[in-house]
Amino acid sequence: MMARAPSGVSVAEVKPNRPPTVFESRLYAVCKSIPEGKVSTYGAMAAVLKSAPRAVGQALRRNPYAPAVPCHRVIAASLELGGFSGQWGLQTPNVCKKRALLEKEGVLFDARGKLVDESQCLGAEELGRACRAAGCEA
């Protein structure tokens, strides 16, 4: 079953080669609830969605709505940067872009790519609350 683009995304921002699935639409709504200056993990998002971290990562890799759906705010369970747009490794262009986007929002990482301030990471419970407050249905 296919769904619609996330609310708050203009037609100019939409560039999918297919409509998002129902799962992707739910995932994008949860991702949009992560506020600037915060991050969450693939695992926390999976817990909120009652899914698997790998499914979350695969769907975010295909996110056609960035930056309206801020997938750069999702990091690995180890609190390291993780991948971005299908690339892994601190020196890859996409992960460097992810780091720059997060640092611009005040989320800092050490030389190994690990989150400096763990209080900036929303766990599953906090993410669920943020999602409900934003009116999304996970």
Whether the CB-CB separation of 136 and 33 falls below 8 Å is answered with: yes
pTM, rounded to two decimals:
0.85
Return per-residue pLDDT of the chain as tens, 138 residues. 444 445 554 434 444 578 889 999 999 999 999 999 999 999 999 999 999 999 999 999 889 898 899 999 999 999 999 888 877 888 889 899 999 999 999 999 999 999 999 999 999 999 999 999 999 877
Contact between 39 and 122 (Cβ < 8 Å): yes
Q: Are 100 and 92 in contact (CB under 8 A)?
A: no
State the Cα–Cα distance between residues 29 and 108, nearest whole angstrom. 24
**pLDDT attached to residue 14:** 42
Question: What's the pLDDT at 3?
Answer: 45
Catalytic residues: 71
